[in-house]
Structure 1
Amino acid sequence: MPAESIAAERAAHGAPTSRRDLLGESTRLLVRAARPDKHHFWWAVLWLVAAAALEALGPLIGKFLIDHYLLPRHAAVAQIGALLAGALVAGMLSSWLRYLQLLRLAGLAMRSVQRVREEVYAHVLRLPMAFFDRAITGQLVSRVTNDTEAVKTLYVQVLFVMLDSVIVLVGAAIAMLWLDWRLMLAVLVLLPAVVVIVAVYQRLSAPAVTRTRELRSELNAQMAESIAGMPVLQAANATDRFRGRFAGLNESHYASRQVELRANAWLLRPMLDLLNVVLLAAVIGMFGLRIQGGALGTIEVGVLYAFVSYIARVVEPLTQITMQFSQLQQAMVGAARVHTLLKEAETPEAPPQAEVREGGIRIEQLTFAYQPGRPVLHDVDLTIAPGSFWGIVGHTGSGKSTLLSLLLRFYPAPAGSIRIDGAPLDQIGEDHLRDRVGLVPQEPFLLAATARENITMGRPISEAQVEAAARAAQAHDFILGLERGYDTPLGEGGARLSVGQKQLIAIARALAGDPRILFLDEATANIDSETEQVVQRALASLRGKVTIVAIAHRLSTVREADTIVVLNHGRVAELGTHDALMQVGGGIYRRLYELQQLEDQDEPDGAGSESA
């Protein structure tokens, strides 16, 4: 993947770039995830300290046994048995405490992942539509699934392994200090070497780990994109090109992983094993020199045994700490990406000061721009009476979809420019607005579920309401014709239905909530003429009951509308009924209608106008 693509993705999502930023973002996520279960955390730490203390007793017991019983050949069976039993009990207690600690930790990690994943998913659902204009689906899925696992990694494989290692290291240092402070200094003098190794490792591996994580997200994104567009890829004979593109991305991911693995291979286990050998040789050498100088007696040979044991307890924690830096880098990147996503501003919650009662809409001097200085809509003024049927038409890029998005509050309109039943749109509560306003999109979205579930969408809607909505949408008859009626699974994306049937299901879904306003976003653009007539009958049955605003590409859909608005370059160019607009010589609507009539005549018999 090109470096500029990664940079663009990170800039688009505000991803942290420096190590300090990564640490800060991941720490905040860690604290947020664990806060409800912080008592589990402190219990785990307490048991960890107790287990480390018990483990530190083993070499001390061994030292006492050697110096006081084995070397003097003092065969006190009872005392030796008591010491061995004490060592055994300490080991068993230490193992039991570690078991308890692991259970607490694993539970904490799993609950944290569950909590973060639910929070991220809920947050994504509340993000404004402007966010999804720049978001990539595969990357979002990767953040919700893969990156949230970083929380568990931070707890289980990083935080507690490193905390455990530090506690064991401190315990061993205290025991060595009590035994012989000079030998203890000889052991600890090598700690700076470990710090240097860790610093060099971080410097070499951190960029590779960050890039690897981003490339993995890009792989997921391309895979999701390719699967979603498979018919187009195969029809356009683009499969080889996309395969090559994926192979190039995968090769970059492989190269990045190789950099990370080479850093691991050189600087982690091999270097620390070498330090272990050097440390052991240094301690034995110093001990031997001191014996030759007469500084030690045979009674203190047990000290050597204890130090050899503690060296393993010192080097292994250091090894574990350094070995975790690879996981730490990946976990920090993943956790920081999740935290960055959670910082995305959600759709502002409108205070529930007003309600949609009748469905009247007033648009006053509406001017809107996605980018400053480049308005898409200019001074739009419309008054839509409750229960009326309005059509909005115009050339591509005239502002139809933008106007609909503003009416649906997908984007914030200028304050006071849109009112529903006299109340500013931004004063209507979010839940109430979505309950009272229905939408039928151009591309119907269907769940891989039954017809009933696709109509209810999880809302507490009765069987009678479902059937009434299906009848009003002219979908009841074909649903009953399915093998299990309303309980028939429709397949992924409604694969078992035609495009027209999917659209009728979408209309039934919009009507099931008993809306006062119904918006149709080019709902007939992709259906045949026969199905369009069915949709027109459904709209006719709703006239006077629901305010209907239909964005239409096919003008036959809005021919019977009470008022048709013609937009041109973001301005209201024409306004009136079909008959009135057809009387305007050289008018935009008349030219569009006549052009579509010619196109319909040129199509084969039975074919619907798919575009105009």
Structure 2
Amino acid sequence: MAPLPEHRPPAQRERRAALALLLRAAAPELPLLRGALLWLVLAAGLEALGPVLGKAFIDRHLLPRDADALAIAGLLGGALVAGWIASWLRYGQLLRLAGVAMRSVQRIRERVYGHVLRLPMAFFDRAITGQLVSRVTNDTEAVKTLYVQVLFVMLDSVVTLGGMLVTMALLDWRLMLVVALLVPAVVGIVWIYQRLSAPAVAASRALRSDLNAQVAEAIAGMATLQAAGAAPRFAERYAGTNAGHYRSRRLELRANAWLLRPALDLLNVAMLGAVIALFGLRADGAAGGQLSAVEVGVLYAFVSYIARVVEPLIQITMQFSQLQQAVVAAARVNTLLDEAEAPPAQAAGQVTAGALSVRQLTFGYQPGRPVLHGLDLEIPAGRFTGIVGATGSGKSTLLSLLLRFYEATPGSLLIDGQPLGRIGDDDFRAAVALVPQDPFLLAASARENIAMGRPLSDAQIEAAARDAQAHDFILRLPQGYDTPLGEGGARLAVGEKQLIAIARALAGAPRVLFLDEATAHIDSETERLVQRTLGALRGRITIVAIAHRLSTIREADEIVVLNHGRIAERGPHEALMALDGGLYQRLVQLQQLVVDTDDDDESPAAPQPTPSPAR
């Protein structure tokens, strides 16, 4: 996906935007998060009681040799109860935060998927399917890891660290300051880790996206790939990308190995040695060179707290790897969300008859390189119009503009005398239907493929199938309309898929029907069924058919011949064939010559799907 940054760590502004995305997703859960934080504070306070109770046991009973069984049992019972309640609170909050995480990721995924559905067609001209799928699935999965693991562990660790430091300050604030030196040391380690690992993490996620894209591309074109003997070259390309992914992951893991757990374990040992040394200095300065009982209890408490302070710091730093990946993933998701959606059309007008007008239309995909030049075309309601021309003549571009996939400027496109932009999206899509060259079928039943999620009755679905000449072959399927068609309609022939697509288009009772090379890859018998369908629809709805096989539009009311983005000829079939040396006449003769040469079929109504200049 060329416009989306793939192989660099997110900049500061992108990181802020990514974090803002995460906060917006979790915003509805803030009351629950506040309650969870309060419970974590209670759990941290209860955990901090353990060393304090141990200190009390040493000070009051161990060193003075006071064997008060009841008091000792009270201290032991208090430690057990405090530990049990703290564990229960953490368990409950883990479940609550997991729920927050799942719902937040659910919102992000739904938002991303809905956003992709609303993007303009111009975006998909440059998008790579595998990378889009990776952003909707893999990257949002990394965000889920942030909520489920990082959020809980870091919140828990920060609260625990704060509780321990407060308790140590109450015992001995000077020693607490010494232990608190761990915090800036850990911050420095994390900063170095972030600087070293960020490029590796960004490259790793981008290369994983490339791997997904290559797999999706290879599977989609497997027949062509194997027929061309390209499998070894594709495997070599995949291996190169995979090697890059391995190298980036290795750099990331090396940073983890050096800067996370080992560095903090070293700090732990150093801090423990510093505290013991300070107590030793106190003993040297004390009368008789010995610590008092109170100081021995404090030493025990501080040794316990150092281990408990270092562990949250270790947990925080260990989560920075996941945090780094989650921020990179969130930045990639946010970049996709920043893609401008197609502007919603004003909902003032409605399609009533289906008359189309093209006035002084000029359009190009790139500035200064127009594909269409000042087109003027009137298509009355109920008229059957065919559009033909050589490759690059602008047929598909004109159709895309009529379908509102792109904005037409300068010039204007009208339907029933209203600019296309004045028709609301729902009204426009309900009134205008498309039958593409390559039919898109869901891995669902014939009934579901025709309904396409619309609330249509069985009678409406069957009526559309009859109009499309699809009813008879659907009834011959094992379960009729409820037969699963397989992925992409794998259980159907190409012609049957196209009839299902036509039935789907007609099921919505459109006022305008566009056919984009709808008969390019079907057999002669299916083409005759399509011609019969178009003949039955003539006068009822407006039909605009881009034709690869010219026999499909032979009976059209008017045929428009495009040449280099301009209208070269127009009129019915007989009138155009009467123009000696005309472009349409040459196209028909050339196509007939190809048909006669390739399959000895004398009927002009049944050419095979061989390449033709009519595309």
TM-score by length of 2: 0.96
Deviations 1:348-391 (A, max 9, x none): 11111111111100111111111111111111111101001000
AA aligned opposite 1:403: L
Match of 1:434 in 2: 429
For residues 308 and 411 of structure 2, the distance between their equivalents in structure 1, rounded to whole angstroms, comes to 70
Number of residue equivalences = 604
Partner of 1:185: 177
Listed as ranges, the matches of 1:464-503 within 5 Å are 464-503=459-498
1:446 and 2:441 matched: yes
**Does structure 1 retain, via aligned residues, the 8 Å contact 2:10–2:331?**
no
User: Which of 72, 77, 87 does residue 95 from structure 1 map onto?
Assistant: 87
CA contact (8 A) 1:62 1:306 kept: yes
Name the structure 2 match of 1:27.
19
Which residue of structure 1 lines up, in the alignment, with residue 571 of structure 2? 576
Which residue among 548, 556, 564 is the counterpart of 2:543?
548
Q: Structure 2 regions of 5+ residues with no counterpart?
A: none
Q: Where does residue 223 of structure 2 map in the other structure?
A: 231
Write the letter of the residue equivalent to 2:124. F
Equivalents in 1 of 2:66, 2:515: separation in Å? 96
Evaluate the alpha carbon distance shift between residue 29 and residue 378 of structure 1 in structure 2; reply closer, same or farther with a 3 A threshold: same
**CA distance in structure 2 between the aligned counterparts of 1:460 and 1:181, rounded to whole angstroms:** 71
The question of 1:309 aligning with 2:304 is answered yes
CA contact (8 A) 1:22 1:332 kept: no
Structure 1 position 47 matched with structure 2 position 55? no
Q: What secondary structure, in the 3-state scheme, does the structure 1 residue paired with 2:364 have? A: strand
Aligned partner of 2:109 in structure 1 is: 117
Moved more, 367-376 or 161-170: 161-170
Take 1:605 and 1:164, find their aligned partners in 2: how far apart are those partners? 79
Deviations 1:470-516 (A, max 9, x none): 11111111111112111111111111111111111111110011111
Distance, in Å, in 2 between the alignment partners of 1:485 and 1:408 is: 33
What secondary structure sits across from 1:286 in the alignment?
Answer: helix
Query: In terms of mean alpha carbon deviation, does 365-374 or 296-305 score higher?
Result: 296-305
Question: 1:530 and 1:11 mapped to 2: Cα distance?
Answer: 45
Q: How far, CA to CA, are the matches of 1:10 and 1:495 in structure 2?
A: 32
1:589 to 584, 588, 592: 584
**Pairing 1:286–2:278 present:** yes
Aligned with 2:347 (options 347, 352, 357): 352
Look up the equivalent residue of 2:147 and give its one-letter code: Y
Query: The residue matched to 2:34 in structure 1 has which SS?
Result: helix
Q: Which residue of 2 aligns with 1:174?
A: 166
- The reply on whether 1:388 has 2:380 as its aligned counterpart is no
Take 2:558 and 2:11, find their aligned partners in 1: how far apart are those partners?
A: 60
Query: Matches of 1:221 and 1:354 in 2, distance apart?
Result: 41
Shift of 1:228: 0.8
Q: CA deviation at 1:57?
A: 1.2
- In structure 2, the residue matched to 1:210 is 202
2:365 partner SS = strand
Q: Which amino acid aligns with 2:608?
A: S
Structure 1 residues 406 and 201, CA gap change in structure 2 (3 angstroms): same
Amino acid at match of 2:210: E
The two structures, once aligned, show a CA RMSD in angstroms of 1.6
Q: Is the 8 A contact 2:8 2:203 kept in 1?
A: no
Cα distance in 2 between the residues matched to 1:152 and 1:26: 14
**CA–CA separation in structure 2 for the residues paired with 1:207 and 1:254:** 14
1:411, distance to aligned residue in structure 2 (A)? 0.8
The separation in 2 between residues aligned to 1:517 and 1:16, in whole angstroms, is 47
Contact 1:366 1:414 in 2 (8 A): yes
Structure 1 residues not aligned, in runs of 5+: 1-8
In structure 2, relative to structure 1, the CA distance for the partners of 1:196 and 1:228 (3 Å cut) is same
Distance in 2 of aligned mates of 1:240 and 1:115: 41
Query: Residue type matched to 1:297 in 2?
Result: S
Q: Return the alpha-carbon distance in structure 1 between the equivalents of residues 61 and 510 of structure 2.
A: 90
> In structure 2, what is the Cα distance between the partners aligned to 1:578 and 1:21?
61
Runs of 4+ in 1 over 6 A off after TM superposition: none
Larger mean Cα displacement after TM superposition, 492-501 or 176-185: 176-185
Partner of 1:5: none
- 1:336 is the counterpart of 2:335: no
Is it true that 1:537 corresponds to 2:532 in the alignment? yes
CA distance in 2, matches of 1:286, 1:562: 100
The C-alpha deviation readout for 1:127-184, integer Å capped at 9, x for no partner, is 1101111111111111111111233222222223222222211211111111112222
Q: Could you tell me how far apart the structure 1 residues matched to 2:369 and 2:108 are?
A: 39
Deviations 1:403-437, CA, capped at 9 Å, x for gaps: 00000001112377011011110010111111111
Does the aligned pair in 1 maintain the 2:130–2:209 contact within 8 Å?
Answer: yes
Residue 190 of structure 1: CA displacement? 3.6
Distance change >3 Å, CA 598–CA 219, structure 1 → 2: same
Q: Deviations over 1:271-295 (max 9, x none)?
A: 1111111111111111122112117
Whole-Å separation in 2 of the counterparts to 1:392 and 1:297? 101
Other structure's SS at 1:251 match: helix
**Taking every aligned residue pair, what percent have the same amino acid on both sides?**
68
User: In structure 1, what residue type is equivalent to 2:510?
Assistant: P
| Stretch deviating more after TM superposition (415-424 or 103-112) | 415-424
1:364, 1:596 → 2: CA distance?
31
Separation (CA, whole Å) in 1 of partners of 2:540 and 2:333: 45
Distance 2:382 2:192 in 1: 71
What does the per-residue CA deviation read over 1:36-71, in whole Å, with 9 as the maximum and x for residues that have no partner? 222111111111111111111111111112111211
Per the alignment, residue 266 of structure 2 pairs with 274
2:593 is matched by which residue type in structure 1? Answer: L
> Judging changes above 3 Å, is the alpha-carbon distance between structure 1 residues 155 and 226 closer, same or farther for their aligned structure 2 residues?
same
The residue that corresponds to 1:610 in the other structure is 609
* Farther off after superposition, 153-162 or 517-526: 153-162
Amino acid at match of 1:271: A
The one-letter amino acid paired with 2:233 is R
Q: Is the 8 A contact 1:520 1:550 kept in 2?
A: yes
- The answer as to 2:151 corresponding to 1:159 is yes
Q: Does 2:133 match 1:134?
A: no
Q: Is the 8 A contact 2:9 2:198 kept in 1?
A: no
> What CA distance in whole angstroms lies between the structure 2 residues aligned with 1:569 and 1:498?
35
8 Å CA contact 2:8–2:199 kept in 1: the answer is no
Cα gap change, 1:329 to 1:443, in 2 (>3 Å): same
Shift in alpha-carbon separation, 1:510–1:10, aligned structure 2, 3 A: closer
Contact 2:10 2:202 (C-alpha < 8 Å) held by counterparts: no
**Structure 2 Cα separation of the partners of residues 483 and 369 of structure 1:** 48
Provide Cα deviations, 1:84-111, integer angstroms capped at 9, x if missing partner. 2211111111111111211110000011
Farther off after superposition, 34-43 or 226-235: 34-43
Closer/same/farther in 2, CA of residues 251 and 350 from structure 1, 3 Å limit: same
Write the letter of the residue equivalent to 2:595: D
Matched residue SS, 1:565? strand
Q: Of residues 411, 420, 425 in structure 1, which corresponds to 2:406?
A: 411
Give a deviation string over 1:288-331, Cα, whole Å, max 9, x none.
22112117422321101100110011111111111111111100
Take 1:173 and 1:76, find their aligned partners in 2: how far apart are those partners?
31
Contact 1:15 1:340 survives alignment (8 Å): no
> How many angstroms does 1:18 deviate by?
3.8
Q: Where does residue 564 of structure 1 map in the other structure?
A: 559
How far apart, CA to CA, are the structure 2 residues paired with 1:224 and 1:398? 31
CA–CA distance in structure 1, aligned partners of residues 411 and 36 of structure 2 = 56
| Pair 1:56 & 2:56 matched | no
Shift of 1:13: 5.8
- CA 1:371 to 1:10, structure 2 compared with 1: closer, same or farther past 3 Å? closer
Cα pair 2:433 2:512 within 8 Å, conserved: yes
Contact 2:7 / 2:202 at 8 angstroms: preserved in 1? Answer: no
Q: TM-score, length-normalised on structure 1?
A: 0.96
Task: Please give the alpha-carbon distance, in whole angstroms, between the structure 1 residues aligned to 2:535 and 2:5.
Answer: 45
Tell me, what secondary structure is at the counterpart of 1:548?
strand
Of residues 189, 210, 217, the one that matches 1:197 is 189
AA aligned opposite 2:247 = A
